[in-house]
Structures are given as C-alpha cells and as structure tokens.
Amino acid sequence: MNNVVSRSLAAGVVLLWTAWPAVAQTSAAPSERIVEVRSYNLKAGTRDRFHELFLREALPMLRRWKVDVVAYGPSLHDRDSYYLMRAFPGVDERQRGEDAFYGSEEWLKGPREAILADIESYTTIVVRLDDATLRGLRESLRR
C-alpha cells in the first residue's frame, strides 16, 4: 500500500472513530446533515486534467441532479490527490441519490469513462455535521 493511500486511510479511520456516534445513526437531525468526504488518489500527472474535467462536466451534472456539493478541489499535501465533499439529509438518501446518479444514462454515457481513467483509488468517509460547521466549511474552502 503506497504512502498516499495509507495516509488517506489513516485519516479516514481517525475521522470515522471521532464521529462514530454520529455515523451510527442513519438520518440526521433537522439542524444536521450527513457529509460524505471522498478522497481521490489520482494517477500521476492527471490532477490538472481531472480538475478541469470535474469543473466542466461533473460539477454541472451534480448540480443538475441537485447534489449539495460542499467543497472540492486539489489537496494541498501532494500533486496527485483531490477531494469532493457532498451533503445529504441522511445516509439512506445519500445511497439512493448516488445509486440514481451513478446509474443514470447521463453519467454512464457522459464523463464517467474519462473521470475514472484518472482515478487510481478513492476512499469515502461519511460523517454527521451540524449546520454551523457545514456553513464554516463552505465558507473556508471557497477561499
């Protein structure tokens, strides 16, 4: 296992461990949202192309599908990592939304192949965040 994957997995385990009481429940309270943090390990040298493809193809598609994209972009720690954060009302809604999106003709016949070609691996962590924390993330990550 390479160092990037090891660090991503270790960070995910720590995040999951600290958020376990929140993750154990499947639906969020009215003032909370379920947030998915996806960390992509990209193939060497593909991050700029991946980012442009994400901005041009995937992000507009996610917005058309009414997916709440909290933040996204190149990771600061190396040249081959990227992240995507999405918010959902609950774990079940996340699963239904992702099944519909990733099973859609728009995705399957659209940017899927080009996007997957740049991804070496990815890790997904799902946690519960209150609205104030979510607002803070949206604001700080837009800078």
pLDDT tier at 24 (50, 70, 90 boundaries)?
Answer: very low
Q: List the structure tokens of 111.
A: 């940017």
In percent, how much of the chain has pLDDT > 90? 72
Torsion angle (degrees, nearest 10) of CA 8, 9, 10, 14: 100
The answer on pLDDT for 25 being more than 80 is no
Please indicate, yes or no, if residue 25 is contained in any of the structural domains: no
pLDDT tens string 56-76: 999 999 999 999 999 999 999
CATH for 15 = 3.30.70.100
Give the count of domains, the chain. Answer: 1
Which domain, by its residues, includes 48? Answer: 3-20+31-141
Rounded to whole angstroms, how far apart are CA atoms 127 and 20? 8
pTM: 0.77
Query: What's the pLDDT score for residue 27?
Result: 52
Query: What's the pLDDT score for residue 32?
Result: 84
Rounded to whole angstroms, how far apart are CA atoms 88 and 76? 25
Terminal-to-terminal C-alpha distance of the chain: 33
Question: Tokens 């960390």 identify what position?
Answer: 39
Lowest mean pLDDT among 11-20, 82-91, 104-113: 11-20
Report, in this order, helix, strand and coil percent for the chain, each rounded to 5. 50, 30, 20
